[in-house]
Amino acid sequence: MPVSIPSVLDELGIGIKPAGIVCRTPGINCLGIIESITDGEIKCPVSIGSFVWHAEPGWAPIDRMELERWLVDSPAGSHWLISERRLLELDRIPIRDQLELELWGSDDLAQWLGNAVLIGRLKLSMHNYDSNSMGAISERTEKSTPPPIKAITLKPKVILTEWLSQRGYERLPVRPVLLEGREWDVDGHLIGPEGASERNRWTLIDDPFTGQLSKKGDVEALPCAPHLERISPRSWKTQEMVRSELTSVCEERRHWNISQSSSDGEIQGSILHWWRIDEGTAELTNSPILIPGWEVEFPSTGWMLVHGLSGEILNSPCAN
């Protein structure tokens, strides 16, 4: 169930006023400055006048480098950062002159809220959050049912902060998402010159959002799937459609050694030959994968998808 941090703080008697700060680190937002704490029983970890920050849920953890980048742009004073993203390699919190940091992860937040529920200061209720932007994904996309537990989540190759900076953007509204795709395991034979045959195996990524079928290559997997919005495509390629593309995806160009007799003796050398898969006899099996991406609100075009592997800008499915 999603948690609205500002609403929770308000219900617990922690008043916040706008701070007018724009953070350059995507996914970390300044909620404001604490101007009042009316209930000491809830044990607010920081005092009046402290800045409150929220790191939204995402598949990319917050490591020491990202935290230091955020600290550089933060004003002097007391700061409370509540992160719903995993905290990585933060045994020692970075420090900065004239800045105090209270860093909370998901476990700290859950324990604090659980205690507030137990003492009767916070009531549990289910809400249907309404939003005219990213919160209404269900109105703009075909939301999928949760994929099988064995679905592999791919690690992004794009670093969003660098991607945005290269295009002249300092900070834009961002929401990480997972795009459903398929991984195809292909067992077959490469056919070369003079009837040569070699058994081989390929792992392919079937990306329905770009329409591309490609070799997996050096794409890595995350150890577990984050709890993010998952978006399914409007349609999938059939097995026969995938089979028809194998020739172009799995072909290889290799050197082939040749020898030829002549009056001067035997001449040896090598020439480049195409080795192509026998797609008719290839065996194909597929399994679900989750492809990283971001919903980004661009000034001129509104919400678009930024692909986490290629960096392509794509239209959101079913976008209005």
Chain position carrying tokens 């997997």? 221
Instruction: Specify the pLDDT at position 3.
Output: 67
Place of tokens 């329905």: 208
The pair of structure tokens assigned to 48 is: 């009046």
For the chain, list residues with pLDDT below 70.
1-3, 59, 89-91, 124-149, 258-269, 317-320
**pLDDT tens digits for 242-290?**
999 999 999 988 877 766 666 666 666 677 888 899 999 999 999 999 9
Q: How far is CA 82 from CA 57, 94, 100, 134, in A?
A: 11, 16, 14, 21
pLDDT reported for residue 124: 58
pLDDT number for residue 138: 33
How many residues are there in the chain? Answer: 320
Q: CA–CA separation, 239 vs 232, rounded Å?
A: 18
- State residue 115's pLDDT score: 80
DSSP for 25-80, written as a single string: STTEEEEEEEEEE--GGG--SS-TT-EEEEE---SS-B-HHHHHHHHHHSPSEEEE
Tokens for 292, please give them: 């990283």
Which residue has tokens 């035997």? 266
Distance CA 305, CA 175 (A): 10
Are 81 and 53 a contacting pair, CB within 8 Å? yes
Collapsing DSSP to helix, strand or coil, 4 comes out as coil
Structure tokens at 203: 């792992």
pLDDT at 17: 94
